[in-house]
Structure 1
Amino acid sequence: MESVWINNINFRRRESLNKNIECDVIIIGAGIAGLLTGYMLNKSGRDVVIIEARSICSGITKNTTAKITSQHDIIYNKLIKEFGEGKARQYAKANELAIQRYREIIDEEKIECNFEGKDAYVYTLNKIEELEDEYEAVKKLGIDAEMLSEVNLPIEVKAALKFKDQAQFNPLKFLKPISEKLTIYENTTAKDIKDNLVITENGEIKANHIVVTTHYPFLNTPGYYFMRMHQERSYVLALENAQDVGGMYIGNNQGTYSFRNYENLLLFGGVSQRAGENEEGLAYEKLREAAKKYYPNSVERYHWSAQDCITLDNIPYIGHYSSKMPNVYVATGFNKWGMTSSMVSAMIISDMILGNKNDFSEIFSPKRFDLSASMKNAANDIVKTVKNFIAQRINIPEEHLGNIENGHGGIIEYKGEKVGVYKDNDGKVHTVYTKCAHLGCEVHWNADELTWDCPCHGSRYDYEGKWIEGPTTKCLNKM
Structure 2
Amino acid sequence: MENKYTEKSKSIWSMTTHLPPRNPLPGDLTVEAAVIGAGMAGILTAYLLQKQGIDVIVLEADQVASGQTKNTTAKITSQHGIIYQDLIKKLGKQKARTYALANEAAIRAYGEIIGEEKIECGFERLPSYLYTREPSMVVRLEQEAQAASALGIPAHFTQIHGLPFDTMGAVCFEGQAQFHPLAFLKHLSQKVTVYEGTRVLKVKKHMIWTDHGTVNAKHVVFASHYPFVNLPGMFFARQHQDRSYVLCLDHPDQLDGMFYSEDKDGLSLRWTHGALLLGGNSHRTGKNRTGGEYQRLKQAAKQYYPDSRIVARWSAQDCMPHDDIPFIGRYSVFRPFWYVATGFKKWGMTSSMLSAMIIRDQICGLQNPYARLFCPQRFHVRASLPSLLADMGESAISLTKGAFHLPLRAADLKEGHGGIIRIGFKRYACYKDEKGVLHKTSARCPHLGCELEWNPAEKTWDCPCHGSRFDYDGRLIDNPAQKGNAF
State the TM-score, normalizing by the size of structure 1.
Answer: 0.97
In structure 2, the partner of 1:101 is 109
Q: Quick check: 2:246–2:277 contact (8 Å CA) kept in 1?
A: yes
Equivalent-residue separation in structure 2 for 1:181 and 1:132 (angstroms)? 44
Q: Quick check: 1:90–1:361 contact (8 Å CA) kept in 2?
A: no
Equivalent-residue separation in structure 2 for 1:17 and 1:309 (angstroms)? 28
Report sequence identity in percent. 46
Q: Which of 434, 440, 452 is equivalent to 1:443?
A: 452
Q: Which of 33, 43, 65 is equivalent to 2:51?
A: 43
1:398: how far off? 4.2
Consecutive unaligned residues of structure 2, counting only runs of 5 or more, are 1-8
1:417: how far off? 1.9
The answer to whether structure 1 residue 422 and structure 2 residue 435 are counterparts is no
In structure 1, the partner of 2:123 is 115
Equivalent-residue separation in structure 2 for 1:258 and 1:370 (angstroms)? 30
Q: Which of 137, 144, 147 is equivalent to 2:154?
A: 144
Equivalences for residues 4-403 of structure 1 within 5 A: 4-125=12-133, 126-127=135-136, 128-241=138-251, 244-401=254-411, 403=413
| Secondary structure of residue in 1 paired with 2:48 | helix
Consecutive unaligned residues of structure 1, counting only runs of 5 or more, are none
- Letter of the 2:485 partner, please give it: L
- Letter of the 2:55 partner, please give it: D
Equivalent-residue separation in structure 1 for 2:168 and 2:443 (angstroms)? 46
Q: Larger deviation: 416-425 or 436-445? A: 416-425
Equivalent-residue separation in structure 2 for 1:418 and 1:214 (angstroms)? 31
Equivalent-residue separation in structure 2 for 1:392 and 1:14 (angstroms)? 44
Equivalent-residue separation in structure 1 for 2:351 and 2:300 (angstroms)? 30
Q: 1:174-223 deviations in whole A, cap 9, x for unaligned?
A: 00011112111112122222111112232211011000001000011111
Q: Quick check: 1:423–1:430 contact (8 Å CA) kept in 2?
A: yes
1:393: how far off? 3.1
| Secondary structure of residue in 2 paired with 1:278 | coil
1:397: how far off? 5.0
Q: Quick check: 2:452–2:463 contact (8 Å CA) kept in 1?
A: yes
Q: 1:384-403 deviations in whole A, cap 9, x for unaligned?
A: 11111111333415422453
1:473: how far off? 0.4
In structure 2, the partner of 1:468 is 477
Q: What is the aligned residue count? A: 477
1:134: how far off? 1.2
- Letter of the 1:120 partner, please give it: S
1:130: how far off? 1.1
- Letter of the 1:39 partner, please give it: Y
- Letter of the 1:450 partner, please give it: K
| Secondary structure of residue in 2 paired with 1:326 | strand
Q: Which of 410, 422, 430 is equivalent to 2:419?
A: 410
Equivalent-residue separation in structure 2 for 1:337 and 1:172 (angstroms)? 16
The answer to whether structure 1 residue 453 and structure 2 residue 462 are counterparts is yes
- Letter of the 1:51 partner, please give it: L
Equivalent-residue separation in structure 2 for 1:16 and 1:427 (angstroms)? 40
State the TM-score, normalizing by the size of structure 2.
Answer: 0.95
Equivalent-residue separation in structure 1 for 2:407 and 2:234 (angstroms)? 35
Equivalent-residue separation in structure 1 for 2:244 and 2:222 (angstroms)? 24
1:82: how far off? 1.6
Equivalent-residue separation in structure 1 for 2:230 and 2:422 (angstroms)? 30
Equivalent-residue separation in structure 2 for 1:260 and 1:472 (angstroms)? 32
Q: Quick check: 2:90–2:382 contact (8 Å CA) kept in 1?
A: no
Q: Quick check: 2:413–2:419 contact (8 Å CA) kept in 1?
A: no
Q: Quick check: 1:392–1:435 contact (8 Å CA) kept in 2?
A: no
Equivalent-residue separation in structure 2 for 1:413 and 1:122 (angstroms)? 47
| Secondary structure of residue in 1 paired with 2:360 | helix
| Secondary structure of residue in 2 paired with 1:355 | coil
In structure 1, the partner of 2:5 is none
Q: Larger deviation: 282-291 or 365-374? A: 365-374
Equivalent-residue separation in structure 2 for 1:395 and 1:249 (angstroms)? 41
Equivalent-residue separation in structure 2 for 1:168 and 1:373 (angstroms)? 30
1:14: how far off? 1.6
Q: Quick check: 1:459–1:470 contact (8 Å CA) kept in 2?
A: yes
1:243: how far off? 5.1
Equivalent-residue separation in structure 2 for 1:311 and 1:152 (angstroms)? 34
Q: Quick check: 2:77–2:128 contact (8 Å CA) kept in 1?
A: yes
Equivalent-residue separation in structure 2 for 1:17 and 1:428 (angstroms)? 39
Equivalent-residue separation in structure 2 for 1:18 and 1:450 (angstroms)? 37
Equivalent-residue separation in structure 2 for 1:192 and 1:240 (angstroms)? 44
- Letter of the 1:418 partner, please give it: R
| Secondary structure of residue in 1 paired with 2:174 | strand
